[in-house]
Amino acid sequence: MEVAVKVLRRSILQFDDSVLVEFEREISFMQRTRHSNLVRFFGAGRQGDGTPFLVEELMAGGTLKGLLHGGEARAISWDMKASLAADVARGMAYMHSLGHIHRDLKSGNVLITETMQAKVAYFGSVGRLLEEQHDNRLDSRASLHSLESWASLDMTHGVGTPLYMSLEMLRHTNYDERTDVWSFGVLLWEIAAQAPPDLLQQEGYSGRAIFSGLDKLLEEGHRLAMHAEWPAAWRELMARCWQQDPDRRPAFPQILQVLEEGEKH
């Protein structure tokens, strides 16, 4: 059996001790869970120099990001898009049923098998819902000081990735599992468009204050533009995922119901 080995670079460990905490959190979560739409975990350990590593299933198809608009990108049918989106929703529904949230759901954190099945991966940002009300402000602030630059919109900075963040996460206020729903809406748009979900570029924003720029655009009601030829159910679902009020966003079982209906047609 072929596997993938994930090793923490020592340079990263020396740069930020919190990375080790996130890595150990990922291992802890993966040890306790198994689902067909979550990347399977086989074991963990340390190298001779103490550097930690984990072993997980090999995902030969690479990332969903690469499949959609990376170097290996190709046109994907709507049937396949619906299948990939439903796979992600199933994995997320299972995570939420266990009382966990992901906090960094994006196309780069979804891996693809040889048979084109999507599996959610990289759980270093997973947090217990009960802990979330107490420590998300601390996590977000700490991440501001632990990284040299916020310039890359596609980079995970402690918790979350800017272009996929809900308003409440951008503002470092209390959030819960519904922040993953917002991120899924962005991911759904990305699957439909097969393009990077860059709201800043879409709206012609050129400032350096990324977070305040995104906050302002979202507060004003700007959202990623949908195309009329996309399935109406998808467009409606995206709009529901991007509700400013988290209470108005659907839960993943509801999302999955919409996507599975689409798979039947």
pLDDT digits over 109-136, tens only? 999 999 999 999 987 665 544 333 333 3
53 in a domain, yes or no?
no
More confident position, 151 or 40: 40
147 in a domain, yes or no?
yes
Position 160 confidence tier, pLDDT thresholds 50, 70, 90: confident
192 in a domain, yes or no?
yes
Rounded to two decimals, what is the model's pTM?
0.83
Mean pLDDT value of segment 231-240: 97
31 in a domain, yes or no?
no
More confident position, 166 or 148: 166
pLDDT at 124: 67
Distance, in Å, from the CA atom of 252 to the CA atom of 146, rounded to the nearest integer, reads: 32
pLDDT at 231: 95
Mean pLDDT value of segment 178-199: 98
| SS3 (DSSP) at 3 | strand
More confident position, 208 or 64: 64
Full domain range(s) for residue 197: 59-264
213 in a domain, yes or no?
yes
pLDDT at 135: 37
Residue type, 57: E
Distance, in Å, from the CA atom of 63 to the CA atom of 44, rounded to the nearest integer, reads: 22
Which one-letter DSSP state was computed for residue 248?
G
**Short-list 263, 106, 260, 117, CA closest to 198:** 106
Mean pLDDT value of segment 16-36: 78
pLDDT at 225: 98
Q: What is the CATH classification number for the domain harbouring 86?
A: 1.10.510.10
Q: Total structural domains in the chain? A: 1
Position 82 confidence tier, pLDDT thresholds 50, 70, 90: very high
| Annotation marks residue 154 as catalytic | no
Mean pLDDT value of segment 204-211: 91
- Could you please report the per-residue DSSP string of 207-246? -S-HHHHHHHHHHTT--PPPPTTS-HHHHHHHHHHT-SSG
Distance, in Å, from the CA atom of 148 to the CA atom of 104, rounded to the nearest integer, reads: 20
156 in a domain, yes or no?
yes
16 in a domain, yes or no?
no
- Could you please report the per-residue DSSP string of 80-120? HHHHHHHHHHHHHHHHHHTTEE-S--SGGGEEE-TT--EEE
Position 8 confidence tier, pLDDT thresholds 50, 70, 90: low
| 8 A C-beta contact, residue 237 and residue 185 | yes
Mean residue pLDDT of the chain comes to 83
Mean pLDDT value of segment 247-252: 98
Annotated catalytic residue: which of 104, 135, 139, 180? 104
39 in a domain, yes or no?
no
User: 157 pLDDT exceeds 60?
Assistant: no
